[in-house]
Amino acid sequence: MNRMQRIAWCQLGFVAAAAIFSVIAMAFFVRKYDYSAPEAWWLAAGYAVPLLILAVIAPPVIFRKRRGRVDCDERDLMIDCTAARIAFGAAFVFFIGVCVTTWIAVGVDSMIPAVWLTRIVYIGWVTAVIAHALTTVVFYSRGGLANE
């Protein structure tokens, strides 16, 4: 595996860990403190934010560029560029989908809590991280052993 593949797998690992942590924490809050499931979920998701921040910051630090070696070529740049576009596109589609769904579900003349907007941004960010990492993994998996 090259550096970008390792970073992508590491990011997917962190996001999976954040999801599992959120589910466990949600179950804990529901059992111990009698929160409703949606309230417990958002509380747990809030506690998972450090893991998600680590998903973005930690992998490039853990898998540092090695001095004196060529770590990145034109194909790597193209894959990174494509992954970024797909990540943005996925977040864009998510934002549009959520906004239109809310519009249809509650009606144009309704009000929604302001905190919902921050949740939309949060989930859109997670969507972008997952889409970027998955795209990187899929594109490199097409290259076989030529990725070393």
Partner 1 sequence: MNRLQKMARFNLIVILISLSLSAIAVGVLHFIVRQPIQRALGGFGFIGICGLLGFSPLLYKKTPGTVSFDERDLLIQRKTSLRAYSIFWFLFVLAAMAPFFVLGPDGAVSVKYLAAMVFGGMIIVMLVQSIVTLEEYGWRNKDNE
Task: Select 57 or 93, whichever has its Cβ closest to partner 1.
Answer: 93
Using CA atoms, how far apart are residues 121 and 128, in angstroms rounded to an integer?
10
Would you say 2 or 102 has its CB closer to partner 1?
Answer: 102
Chain contacts with partner 1 (rule: CB under 8 A): 81-82, 84-85, 88-89, 91-92, 95-96, 99-100, 102-103, 106-115, 117-118, 120-121, 124
Nearest of 52, 23, 46, 55 to residue 118 by alpha carbon: 46
Question: CB of 5 within 8 A of CB of 133?
Answer: no
Question: Least Å distance between CB 78 and partner 1?
Answer: 9
User: Quick one: 112 or 138, whose CB is closer to partner 1?
Assistant: 112
Q: Shortest distance, CB of residue 53 to partner 1, whole angstroms? A: 15
Closest to 26 in 3D by CA, of 7, 6, 10, 48: 48
Q: How far apart are CA 144 and CA 142, in angstroms?
A: 6
Smallest separation, CB 139 to partner 1 (Å): 14
Q: How far is the CB of 41 from partner 1 (least distance, A)?
A: 17
Q: Which of 146, 130, 15, 126 is nearest to 76 (CA)?
A: 146
Q: Which is nearer to partner 1, 63 or 76 (CB)?
A: 76
